[in-house]
């Protein structure tokens, strides 16, 4: 078939579908399997294993795979297919993470200037700078030797060790100890609460791989049911006609901190009530692009029934109440409900690609789906199955990139990797970080971006190189570094820019004005890269 710009544009729709597929694999299977592992480590009797369950340590190790899985598999598959897009995806993600995620986080933070945790921030900046230096060193001769791959992978081990012992270092040096936070001084009783008068244990789970990977993804509050109107200006109790018409909403107020969707989760945003095993009830809240699950645990069956009846009564019967089905039947039921619901047409159209991906995954992973709590012991198989599908979707993404390049020759694979693919694989991280900033945890979101960048080089690049070279007897890997050297320069420049902002008064704080500046710098990066690709001007680095 002859090249066609129209066909090339249609392939962009397919590559967007692959981005969605990768994200869904991570959120539905990869990250849940990782979270089960982290939970088991936390509950271990061995104090050394317990530390592997701490968010900071887990985030730098196994959870980094959940955050950087798409980039890692894209780079791995590109080695076997000869694509130029793989390394570009990793470099492009680095620049996107530092500029867009940090910039949007500052802009979304409720309190500015934004204070940073000094020791972890300095540690991650130093290791990110080291990763840039090592990456440039490895690419300098346009090929990756076996020892260079192992050096980068060993640096990952050093980084993990530093993260592991950071708290010990802080405890040994009084000057490094941060001031205690209010939430750290609260009573442990805050971990339990009441909902409609029923005692429940409440966990909040954000559907975003970056948050799950590098920061506490689970928090607990006391909950009390209270009445709220749908509209912000409606502060009084809804009238009887409004309640009957469905214009009123009952929310849950949170003591001791806001939820990801704000201080009140409203029943108008409650889309599904999923009845799990072992006394677990999942409340699925969706507001715009934000998806939050409240995981309730009610041991007593009678109380559980009472709570469900109260939720049904106060929500005016809007949410879909059903049991969790890990098989394809569950995917079909979800599609049928979406099509028969009163959701907007756009939501119904989105339900179709969701069903396609969900059906594929449920057909193959239903037996190891750890979201069914009775199968949590199978988390290693769930982890492996998710890696398999990440590899498949990464391969398809690179093949689609080849088709785009074939039909639109002006768009080389290296450019698609460093821009389109990098944005597509990193966009969920940006959404997750904005949610953290809105929840008044912007410092954690910035730590996510830096920590993810460090392991993007040390894991997403180095580990595929090591795997490939072990299979081929240490054979050097030729790298087409067209545009990559310039990407490394952008990585260095953006890191320096962020550090300069942090060092400027007020020290170790980020002012609101820095957010838009970082976003504008990323837009400038896209313009410069696009101009070089289309030969509007010569490249900055030859």
214 has a pLDDT exceeding 60: no
Which DSSP symbol is given to 269?
G
Mean pLDDT of 232-260: 46
pLDDT of residue 145: 94
pLDDT of the residue at 178: 65
pLDDT band at 243 (very low <50, low <70, confident <90, very high): very low
pLDDT above 90 (res 31):
no
Q: Which residues contact 19 (CB under 8 A, 6 or more apart)?
A: 397, 424, 425, 427
In the chain, what percentage of residues exceed pLDDT 70? 80
In whole angstroms, what is the distance from residue 474 CA to residue 76 CA?
A: 15
Q: In the predicted model, what is the mean pLDDT of the chain?
A: 80
DSSP string, 273-324: EEE-STTEEEEEEEETTEEEEEEEE---HHHHHHHHHHHHHHTTT-SEEEE-
DSSP conformation letters of 470-518: HHTTT--EE---TTHHHHHHHHHHHHHHHHHHHHSSSTTEE-TTHHHHH
A 10 A CB-CB count for 56 gives 20
User: In DSSP terms, which residues pair with 224 in a beta bridge?
Assistant: 253
pLDDT score of 289: 60
Residue 183: the pLDDT is: 42
How far apart are the two ends of the chain, measured CA to CA in Å? 35
User: What is the residue-wise DSSP string for 176-245?
Assistant: GPPPPPGGGGS-GGGGEEEETTEEEEEEEEES-HHHHHHS------EEEEEEEESSTT--SPPPHHHHHH
Q: Is the pLDDT of residue 58 over 70?
A: no
pTM for the whole thing? 0.78
pLDDT at residue 459 is higher than 80: yes
pLDDT at 174: 74
Confidence class for position 189, pLDDT limits 50, 70, 90: very low
Kindly tell me if the per-residue pLDDT of 473 is higher than 70.
yes
Name residue, tokens 């710098």.
521
- 169: tokens are 């270092």
How far from the centroid of its chain's Cα atoms is residue 163's Cα? 20
What pLDDT was estimated at residue 241?
A: 44
CA distance 426 to 210: 9
116-160, pLDDT tens digit by residue? Answer: 888 888 999 999 999 999 999 998 888 899 999 999 999 999 998
Whether the per-residue pLDDT at 71 is higher than 50: the answer is yes
Which of 35-39, 213-217, 446-450, 504-508 is predicted least confidently? 213-217
Q: Is the pLDDT of residue 480 over 70?
A: no
- What pLDDT shows up at residue 248? 40
pLDDT band at residue 450, thresholds of 50, 70 and 90? confident
Determine the Cα–Cα distance for residues 399 and 130; give it in Å rounded to an integer: 32
Instruction: Write out the H or E segment, with its range, that includes residue 42.
Output: helix 31-42
Torsion of CA 523, 528, 529, 533, to 10 degrees: 140
Confidence at residue 62, expressed as pLDDT on a 0 to 100 scale: 67
> CA 279 to CA 283: how far, in whole Å?
13
User: What's the whole-number mean pLDDT along residues 210-218?
Assistant: 40
Average pLDDT over residues 411-434: 83
The most confident of the ranges 59-63, 294-298, 394-398, 513-517 is: 513-517
Asked whether the predicted pLDDT for residue 311 surpasses 90, the reply is: no
DSSP string spanning 408-447? STTS-HHHHIIIIIHHHHHHHHHHHHHHHHHTT-HHHHHH
**Whole-number pLDDT of residue 207:** 57
What pLDDT sits at residue 153?
94
**Nearest-angstrom CA–CA distance, 522 and 242:** 46
pLDDT at 364 over 90: yes
In the predicted structure, residue 474 carries a pLDDT above the cut 60: yes
Q: Give the least confident one: 5-14, 49-58, 315-324.
A: 49-58
pLDDT-derived band at 30 (thresholds 50, 70, 90) equals confident
Length of the chain: 542
Q: Does the pLDDT at position 326 exceed 80?
A: yes
Over residues 449-454, mean pLDDT: 85
Gap between the Cα atoms of 135 and 155, Å rounded: 11
Q: Give the model's pLDDT for residue 44.
A: 85
Q: pLDDT of 265-281, one tens digit each?
A: 777 788 889 988 777 88
pLDDT at 132: 95
Q: For residue 477, which phi and psi values (nearest 5 degrees)?
A: -105, 115
Q: Where do the DSSP E strands lie in 30-180?
A: 114-115, 143-144
Please answer whether residues 22 and 15 qualify as being in contact, where contact means their C-beta atoms are separated by less than 8 angstroms.
Answer: no
pLDDT of residue 55: 60
pLDDT of residue 65: 64
81, 479 contact by CB (below 8 A): no
Q: What is the per-residue pLDDT for 158?
A: 93
Q: What is the pLDDT of residue 128?
A: 94
pLDDT score at 253: 56
Does 63 or 29 have the greater pLDDT score? 29
User: Is residue 165 within 8 Å of 173, Cβ to Cβ?
Assistant: no
Distances (CA, A) of 89 to 467, 487, 489: 19, 11, 16
76 and 392 Cβ atoms separated by less than 8 Å: no
Which residue is associated with the tokens 């980039």?
Answer: 71
**pLDDT computed for residue 240 by the predictor:** 47
Confidence of residue 244 (pLDDT cuts 50, 70, 90): very low
């Amino acid at each position: 078939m002859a090249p066609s710009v129209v066909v090339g544009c249609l392939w962009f729709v397919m590559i967007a579908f692959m981005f969605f597929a990768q994200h869904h694999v991570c959120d539905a299977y990869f990250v849940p399997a990782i979270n089960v592992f982290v939970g088991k480590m936390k509950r271990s009797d061995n104090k050394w294993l317990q530390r592997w369950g701490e968010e900071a340590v887990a985030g730098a190790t196994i959870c980094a795979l959940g955050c950087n899985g798409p980039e890692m598999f894209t780079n791995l598959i590109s080695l076997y297919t000869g694509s130029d897009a793989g390394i570009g995806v990793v470099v492009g993600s680095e620049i996107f993470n530092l500029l867009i995620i940090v910039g949007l986080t500052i802009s979304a933070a409720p309190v500015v200037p934004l204070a940073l945790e000094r020791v972890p921030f300095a540690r991650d900046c130093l290791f990110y700078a080291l990763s840039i230096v090592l990456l440039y060193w490895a690419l300098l001769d346009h090929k990756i030797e076996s020892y260079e791959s192992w050096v980068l992978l060993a640096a990952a081990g050093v980084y993990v060790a530093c993260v592991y012992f950071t708290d010990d270092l802080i405890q040994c040096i009084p000057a490094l100890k941060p001031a205690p936070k209010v939430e750290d001084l609260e009573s442990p009783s805050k971990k339990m609460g009441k909902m409609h008068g029923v005692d429940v244990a409440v966990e909040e789970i954000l559907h975003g791989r970056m948050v799950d990977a590098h920061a506490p993804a689970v928090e607990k509050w006391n909950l009390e049911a209270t009445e709220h109107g749908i509209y912000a200006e409606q502060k009084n109790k809804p009238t009887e006609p409004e309640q009957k018409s469905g214009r009123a909403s009952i929310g849950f107020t949170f003591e001791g901190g806001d939820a990801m969707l704000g201080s009140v989760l409203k029943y108008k945003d409650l889309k599904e009530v999923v009845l799990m095993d072992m006394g677990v009830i999942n409340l699925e809240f969706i507001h715009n692009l934000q998806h939050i699950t409240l995981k309730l645990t009610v041991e007593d069956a009678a109380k559980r029934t009472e709570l469900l009846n109260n939720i049904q009564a106060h929500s005016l019967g809007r949410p879909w109440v059903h049991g969790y089905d890990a098989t394809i039947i569950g995917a079909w039921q979800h599609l049928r409900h979406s099509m028969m619901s009163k959701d907007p047409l756009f939501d119904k159209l989105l339900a179709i690609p969701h069903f396609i991906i969900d059906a594929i995954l449920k057909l193959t992973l239903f037996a190891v789906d750890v979201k069914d709590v009775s199968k949590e012991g199978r988390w290693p198989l769930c982890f492996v199955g998710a890696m398999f599908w990440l590899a498949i979707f990464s391969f398809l993404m690179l093949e689609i990139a080849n088709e785009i390049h074939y039909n639109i020759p002006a768009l080389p694979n290296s450019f698609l990797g460093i821009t389109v693919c990098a944005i597509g694989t990193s966009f969920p991280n940006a959404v997750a970080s904005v949610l953290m900033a809105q929840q008044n945890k912007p410092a954690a979101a910035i730590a996510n971006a830096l920590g993810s960048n460090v392991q993007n080089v040390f894991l997403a690049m180095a580990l595929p190189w090591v795997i490939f070279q072990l299979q081929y007897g240490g054979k050097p890997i030729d790298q087409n570094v067209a545009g990559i050297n310039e990407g490394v320069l952008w990585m260095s420049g953006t890191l320096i820019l962020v550090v300069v902002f942090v060092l400027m008064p007020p020290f170790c704080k980020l002012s609101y004005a820095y957010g838009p500046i970082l976003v504008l710098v990323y837009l400038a990066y896209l313009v410069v890269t696009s101009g070089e690709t289309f030969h509007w001007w010569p490249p900055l680095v030859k």
